[in-house]
Amino acid sequence: MSRTFISGTRRWVVKIGSSILTNRGLGLDRGAIDSWVRQIDYLINRGIEVVLVSSGAIAEGMVRLNWTERPKKIAELQASAAVGQTGLVQAYQESFRNLHRNSAQILLGHDDIANRQRYLNARSVLVTLLKHGIVPIANENDTVSTEEIRFGDNDCLAAMVANLIDADLLVILTDRDGLYSADPAKETSAKLISEASCDSQDLDELVGESLSKIGRGGMITKLQAARQAGNSGCSTVIVGGRIDNVMCKVAAADRVGTLLFANKKPLAARKQWLAGQLRVHGRLILDAGAVDVLSSKGKSLLPVGVMGVEGDFRRGDFVSCVDDSGIEVARGLINYSAKETEIIKGLSTLEVQSALDMSGEDELIHRDNLILV
């Protein structure tokens, strides 16, 4: 597969691992951070939106606490994250400020992705930040998460963020140049895999557990992340973070690292995911005009086309859309609660704000969150 498609990508998630961020536990590498920030600024100036998913809070906390081994107790992990998070974010902020660019800290937990209302809220704030040229710096909320629901070294978190914002490309910066045919530390004949399908079963035998005392990942979590991102049509590049101007080279379609390309179209994959995983919590009865708009024109659902509301649902729940005879025509994630929807049904966009005494989304269900049935 040609890498030329990368030149057309407009939304990236870039994940930086703990080992390269902290010089394998020696403290934050400010020079490397400055370099990555300059590259992100270069991408943004080229019209590419970037969300940065950064590990390193626990690793930086370990340095500040003089701990040489990653803690096993959850309370100590949380303490280390709390100590290190301030230094990590400050380092990024200073680097971006030197380039006259704003950044924002986003802490995410498992519930923020699994809960539909929080999912929509997280998506909205990330997209809004990108719209204003601000770089979101996302990390797992390590200070409050528990071991049972933790993401794996932020690789999984990066993939979920890619799904969340419909990213075109996930770039995972690591301490190896990419995915190899064998462990290069053990076999000198190991060759860098330039590209492969993220779903290729041959890749499973090539990955192994992490040997790092700092991070929790390894190539196995990166392959899992690539497959997770691939579910929404997002391809992944696994590449050495220490390669000079690595992100610029990826953007130029240079053959660096390993490209794991997705086999699904973004919109189709996302809507397939919506259709297969979410339970219906309520029902909207639509007039003929709204049915036509959804069925033949591919538009979003507006309040003006809703005649009736059934069920007790919340913002972010999955609801069914039916015509006046009860035949289902679509399903989707709704932007308002049942109570709010009852108030604004049949109203024009201009009337919605005054009816609720608040500003919200124009659409009841955005077309990206809607599937026809």
Per-residue pLDDT of 333-361, as tens digits, reads 999 999 999 999 999 988 887 888 766 78
In this structure, the answer to whether residues 198 and 62 fall within a common structural domain is: yes
In this structure, the answer to whether residues 16 and 72 fall within a common structural domain is: yes
Per-residue pLDDT of 107-116, as tens digits, reads 887 667 666 6
Tell me the three-class secondary structure of the chain, residue by residue. CCHHHHHHCCEEEEEECHHHHCCCCCCCCHHHHHHHHHHHHHHHHCCCEEEEEECCHHHHHHHHCCCCCCCCCHHHHHHHHHHHHHHHHHHHHHHHHHCCCCEEEEEECHHHHHCHHHHHHHHHHHHHHHHCCCEEEEEECCCCCCHHHCCCCCHHHHHHHHHHHCCCEEEEEECCCCCECCCCCCCCCCCECCEEECCCHHHHHHCCCCCCCCCCCCHHHHHHHHHHHHCCCCEEEEEECCCCCHHHHHHCCCCCCEEEECCCCHHHHHHHHHHHHCCEEEEEEECHHHHHHHHHHCCCECHHHEEEEEECCCCCCEEEEECCCCCEEEEEECCCCHHHHHHHCCCCHHHHHHHHCCCCCCCCECHHHEEEC
For the cut 70, the answer to whether the pLDDT of residue 152 exceeds it is no
Tell me the C-alpha distance between 17 and 52, whole Å.
Answer: 11
In this structure, the answer to whether residues 74 and 148 fall within a common structural domain is: yes
Q: How confident is the model at residue 216, as a pLDDT?
A: 44
The residue among 208, 235, 270 that closes a domain is 270
Query: At residue 266, what is the residue type?
Result: P
Query: At residue 201, what is the residue type?
Result: Q
- The percent of residues in the chain predicted with pLDDT above 90, rounded, is 47
Domain of 351, CATH number, reads 2.30.130.10
Beta-strand pair 169-174/235-240: parallel
Q: How confident is the model at residue 273, as a pLDDT?
A: 62
- For residue 153, name the pLDDT band (cuts at 50, 70, 90): low
In this structure, the answer to whether residues 165 and 248 fall within a common structural domain is: yes
Q: Which of 7-21, 102-116, 138-152, 342-356 has the lowest mean pLDDT?
A: 138-152
More confident residue, 249 or 205: 249
Q: How confident is the model at residue 278, as a pLDDT?
A: 53
The residue among 270, 290, 308 that closes a domain is 270
Domain of 13, CATH number, reads 3.40.1160.10
In this structure, the answer to whether residues 168 and 40 fall within a common structural domain is: yes
In this structure, the answer to whether residues 103 and 24 fall within a common structural domain is: yes
- For residue 131, name the pLDDT band (cuts at 50, 70, 90): very high
Number of domains in the chain: 2
Tell me the C-alpha distance between 22 and 25, whole Å.
Answer: 5
Q: How confident is the model at residue 215, as a pLDDT?
A: 42
Query: At residue 52, what is the residue type?
Result: L
In this structure, the answer to whether residues 210 and 359 fall within a common structural domain is: no
Tell me the C-alpha distance between 183 and 84, whole Å.
Answer: 32
Per-residue pLDDT of 69-82, as tens digits, reads 888 787 888 888 88
In this structure, the answer to whether residues 69 and 144 fall within a common structural domain is: yes
The residue among 270, 304, 335 that closes a domain is 270
Residue 62 near residue 146, CB atoms below 8 Å: no
* Residue located via tokens 């300059």: 38
Residue 20 near residue 242, CB atoms below 8 Å: yes
**Domain limits for position 287:** 278-372
In this structure, the answer to whether residues 124 and 21 fall within a common structural domain is: yes
End-to-end CA gap in the chain: 33
Q: Specify the pTM.
A: 0.73
In this structure, the answer to whether residues 286 and 266 fall within a common structural domain is: no
In this structure, the answer to whether residues 283 and 253 fall within a common structural domain is: no
In this structure, the answer to whether residues 328 and 250 fall within a common structural domain is: no
